[in-house]
Structure 1
């Protein structure tokens, strides 16, 4: 069984980033690394062990989530990373557009921090759990 353990959070809003870190590391017992900007994250990820999953904000300064995805996919092993986009945009067209950028899943803000770890774990088990 391929167990979800390593998650990276890329979110420019410090409050949301810390909430994600808290709920994922405490409730989900995941190993979580955080970045305030995608431009910083891509540099680190290019020379570090890649996570299994990235929670990626859509709109950030310097580099958006959709701009980040193709850069990640070019890194060795980057194509295997599950990307969950976080957005307040809720129209079907916007969600479809985000999925077309290469996201594996789109989670809407605001999210329930008590349920998010379970939701991510369930998604992982369905799509990546079997080896």
Structure 2
């Protein structure tokens, strides 16, 4: 994290997670992939899995750890995507994301998030 105008910037990292489609494609979605979202009951919404890296942990390593914790899936990271700037609890935030394919695991809720879901489920 680094200061910007005397304010600490929140820098979470995560993945735009996708898995092969299990059902027929709809008009609004691509033919072969389903994006995954994490339900955050505390915030009352859905988002891409992400979180802050641990001390000494790089952004990609933190993203992969957070995705595994929040979704129960091991993923294969791909291309880094453009950063997303957003407010985070009254402070500036800049989230880094990687495209990632879900590989192995079981969808399980954690204390922080509810069951992850594909956008089509």
TM over 0.5: no
TM-score (norm 2): 0.25
Could you say which structure has the higher strand fraction?
2
Q: Which has the higher contact order (CA 8 A, sep 6+)?
A: 2
Between structure 1 and structure 2, the one with the greater Rg is: 2
